[in-house]
């Protein structure tokens, strides 16, 4: 069965972008864009990412290998409407996904078919439906939750995420759009438990891959009192 995975680049203090752009002025000049560009710089400098976008150059290094691995593993994608709308122009007629993409939205739209195997299907009945539709066409490969951060939280909150990879960039933004926040809807004395199963260090980013184990109660331990008394 397909795994549901997500990869997100975050600052050391947990932000994936700067303060959210409120719609006034050009997004590219906003604090949101400035923070986002900083934490994804390692990505855009990698050869594997640049090749997928149709750009020349880039570094062929460990980061590039990890990006290539992620592209190869994906059999379908799920993304939010804000990301899809923002990328539609820059991605052009041949987007980098090359497999079906399911867009979670409240606004219906006809499926868009693009060159290279990419299609965008707009799903209006919730994130669980989008994940299920993506699983159905992924041919056993991963369903990749491409973002943004709000959608990753929705999938995690719903208990649908199997694997989370955080690409932690050595920068402190101080404020901005935090990936893991109160939107997860955790109760008092409840947490989402994960198991770290891979760490890859590079000078520009540390890749941390976690298996998501799900919600669990937070319980008190005895702090060693029961072992020697």
Please indicate, yes or no, if residue 116 is contained in any of the structural domains: yes
Answer whether residue 227 is part of any domain.
no
Reply yes or no on whether the pLDDT at 12 is more than 80: yes
Say if 229 falls within a structural domain. Answer: no
Q: What is the rounded end-to-end Cα distance, in angstroms, of the chain?
A: 49
Number of domains in the chain: 1
* Domain-located, residue 37: yes
Residue 67 forms part of a structural domain: yes
**What per-residue confidence (pLDDT) applies to 223?**
83
Q: What is the pLDDT averaged over residues 26-35?
A: 95
Give CA–CA dist 117/64, Å, rounded. 22
Q: For the chain, what is the radius of gyration of the CA atoms? A: 19
Over residues 35-56, the pLDDT tens digits come to 999 999 999 999 999 999 999 9
Q: Please tell me which residue, 91 or 24, carries the higher pLDDT value.
A: 91
Residue 227 pLDDT grade (very low, low, confident, very high; cuts 50, 70, 90): low
pTM: 0.94
91-141 tens-digit pLDDT = 999 999 999 999 999 999 999 999 999 999 999 999 999 999 999 999 999
Q: What is the CATH number of the domain that holds 41?
A: 3.40.430.10
> What pLDDT band is residue 225 in, cutting at 50, 70 and 90?
confident
Domain holding 199, by residue range, is 4-217
Contacts of residue 47, Cβ cutoff 8 Å, sequence gap at least 6: 57, 58, 59, 60, 61, 64
Q: Is residue 213 in some structural domain? A: yes
Q: Is 27 within the bounds of a domain? A: yes
Residue 94 falls inside a structural domain: yes
- CB 149 within 8 Å of CB 17: yes
Residues whose CB is less than 8 angstroms from the CB of residue 72 and which lie 6 or more positions away in sequence, other chains included: none
The pLDDT of residue 24 is above 90: no
Quick one: CA dihedral 192, 193, 197, 203, positive or negative? positive
pLDDT score recorded for residue 196: 98
Give Cα 120 to chain centroid, integer Å. 17
């Amino acid at each position: 069965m397909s795994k549901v995975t997500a990869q997100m680049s975050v600052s050391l203090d947990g932000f994936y972008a700067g303060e959210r752009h409120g719609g006034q002025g050009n997004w590219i000049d906003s604090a949101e864009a400035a923070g986002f560009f900083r934490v994804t710089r390692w990505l855009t400098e990698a050869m594997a990412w640049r090749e997928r976008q149709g750009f020349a150059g880039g570094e062929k290094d460990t980061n590039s290998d990890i990006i290539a691995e992620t592209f190869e593993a994906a059999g379908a994608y799920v993304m939010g409407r804000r990301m899809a709308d923002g990328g539609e122009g820059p991605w052009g007629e041949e987007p980098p996904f090359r497999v079906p993409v399911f867009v979670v939205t409240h606004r219906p739209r006809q499926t868009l078919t693009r060159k290279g195997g990419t299609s965008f299907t707009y799903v209006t009945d919730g994130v669980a439906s989008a994940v299920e539709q993506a699983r159905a066409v992924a041919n056993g490969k991963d369903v990749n939750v491409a973002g943004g951060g709000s959608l990753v939280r929705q999938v995690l909150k719903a208990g649908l995420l199997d694997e989370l990879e955080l690409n932690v960039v050595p920068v402190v933004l101080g404020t901005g759009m935090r990936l893991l926040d109160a939107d997860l809807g955790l109760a008092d004395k409840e947490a989402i438990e994960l198991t770290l199963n891979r760490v890859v260090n590079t000078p520009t980013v540390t890749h941390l891959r976690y298996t998501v184990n799900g919600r669990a109660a937070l319980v008190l331990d005895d702090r060693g009192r029961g072992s020697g008394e």
